Chains A and B, each alone.
Chain A
Amino acid sequence: MGASLSASGLSKFYGDLKVFSKLDFSVAAGEVLVIAGPNGSGKSTLLKIAAGLLTPSFGRIEFRNSMEVIPKERRRRHLYMVSPDLSFYEELTARENLNFFLALLGRKLDNVTETLSRVGLGGREDDEVAGFSLGMRQRLKYALAFLLEPQFLFLDEPTANLDTAGAKIVIELLAEQKKRGLAVVATNDPNEYTWGDKKLELGR
């Protein structure tokens, strides 16, 4: 038994405004959960709660590694999130950005050249991110996902700003992710629903 994620009675309110309420779901090792729903249905909010970036109004979310519950303060070592709200430092190069985030977790950057080639950024290691297009920045987020190899992967609008070749990177990452842990994908693109083993529909 590997990584697993379970949520019970999860609700989020901003004042009187209900984003979602009483959500229950679970994701086991080797599974991909797709969260679907129209704009404003709370997909990104749910993903941020799962990644520990927002606190739920009610309910709880539990990360497990085998039988052991991973405490909140140790979760950052096991998870990663690709989101439109996540950016890298523009004044640093691709290599420096990757090196910085890996170093925060006490890890060394070994195979940056191959990883960047894998996401279509070969030869751009020492270019400042300021000169990257939106699609290239999105690919850099996936480069970090390949390097971090998290047990818990959260993808929000995974193919935003990506071309067809870029979308293949996401499919490749999810295939790898199923071998080492689990993934939760928030999308409103029906083509991406097929990536999931499970689907959670959010709506107003």
Chain B
Amino acid sequence: MTLRPMLLALAAAALALAPAGYGQSSIEGRVELPKPLHAPVMNKRYGIVAYGGVLSPYPPVAVVYLEGSFPRAPTLPTGRMAQKDLAFVPAILPVQVGTRVEFPNLDDTYHNIFSYSPAKRFDLGRYRRDETPVPSEVFDVAGMVTLRCDIHEHMRAIILVLDTPHFVLTDTEGRYSLQGLPGGRFVLKAWLDSRTTLSRAVDLAPGGVLRADFP
């Protein structure tokens, strides 16, 4: 076959043209998560709980992301936040600026998703399970967007709109791994709740693996 060596050659050429070391570095580490409250205080259905004026994911998880200026992908994958059993699933969703997020209703009752947050105000109106096309919104301003349901006052979710393609959710132990990063000096951040975002500077060697823990 003559096609295969040719493709390999093309791939090698593409890599050579890309910015130095792009997509080869990675960061791994652990974020010290706040201890989960024994019982969600304001929000009966966990996902997002409110306590002392702070909205945080429950059980606690963090969003780790790399700040910097990165080339923008021509197309972004569509995000998805469903409503199931009178709760948002997932309740915390990090997306890159410009991402479209769909909000399918998987319950047998009406929902009415809306947000009054400065980063994105919208109101999807009432809709049911079989609504087509699935109601969606494009999130084009960075910031934290609080979602609510007009019918079910306990429902709450957060969409974290980030101006970076490099972000990841930790597991419930706080462990994370960011792959495919370019080399260089950046700021690495960990969002813990509506009031707490930790940050640290990182110096990524091309192709290297960095260990970065918070705090």
- A and B co-occur in one complex: no
